[in-house]
Structure 1
Amino acid sequence: MPSTPSPQVRVILSDGQVLRGWLHGWGQFPRAGWMAWVSLPMWADDPGTETVQPREYRVWLTPGQAHPIDGVRYDQVPRYPLRREEQTTQAADRWAWKIQHTPGLAGRPGVSVVHIWDCEEAPREGEELDLFAELEVLRCPGAVACGECGADVALGPLA
């Protein structure tokens, strides 16, 4: 049992009701960002005794659903940042690119797509190029950086 109780927060339900809950931590998620791990007091049926018992319901809530209460301190609430997958030294140090050439159809020009070397869409037998060679490819008309593997994010500011 923690030495200090979890601080309370205001929880706004989807129908506008306001409840008080307890903030147990902040967790970072890949797409949702930071979310609050909150417990709410609830009633639950106990079929064995045919009674209703108090229970705690825990749920992840967005900062727009769990609000601080004036005068309550939250500096001791634990934070759980997103865990990054460990990369091998080879993968972490590798800065290589591959080009996927798509031929033109029906009179339309072909497209060259720049991929990070290990992208699923990158040609397996394709030559790996360095950053400067890839930037030259992206300067050509009809060349784009792949959005699936993040080449657009990595190369966008440089192109």
Structure 2
Amino acid sequence: MPPTDPPPPPVRVFLPDGQELRGLLHARGQFPRGGWMYWVALPMWADVPETETVEPREYRVWLTAEQARPIQGVSYDQVPTHPLQRQAPTTEGTDRWAWKVQRTGPGKDGRAHRFVVHVWDCPQAPADASELDVFSALEALAVPGAVACSECSADVALGPLT
């Protein structure tokens, strides 16, 4: 009988509305600058239109350390860990995740410039701005006073990742 891999260990997953779920940690990834992401499986229900039923399925998603947290007493030693590389933004297809940053002038109070992160095709995004990947967009949002545009739903897409 061939050896079987141990099952993935459980982790606590925090949803944007404050709910807490248990997921299974399949992998960890670390970026060159030290940031971590976690490949987590969550149990969900899915409609099966052909049979007019609902069945359990597994949904996998990359989460940050704020969204996926360890459970005390659980060993994560066997979880595969990989280096993560940033990928250049793509211009192919219409479902791409690319972002642009708009720099606005200083406010009336004389404070520093403010940054607004837009989806790449937002009408309010500067046409001549470079396109950024999601990780660079998140770095731009980390600047104090930076916001994600609500007109193009950048706030909906990036909000859970910040």
Structure 1 or 2, whichever has the larger Rg, is 1
In the superposition, the TM-score normalised over structure 1's length comes to 0.49
Query: What TM-score do you get using the length of structure 2 for normalisation?
Result: 0.48
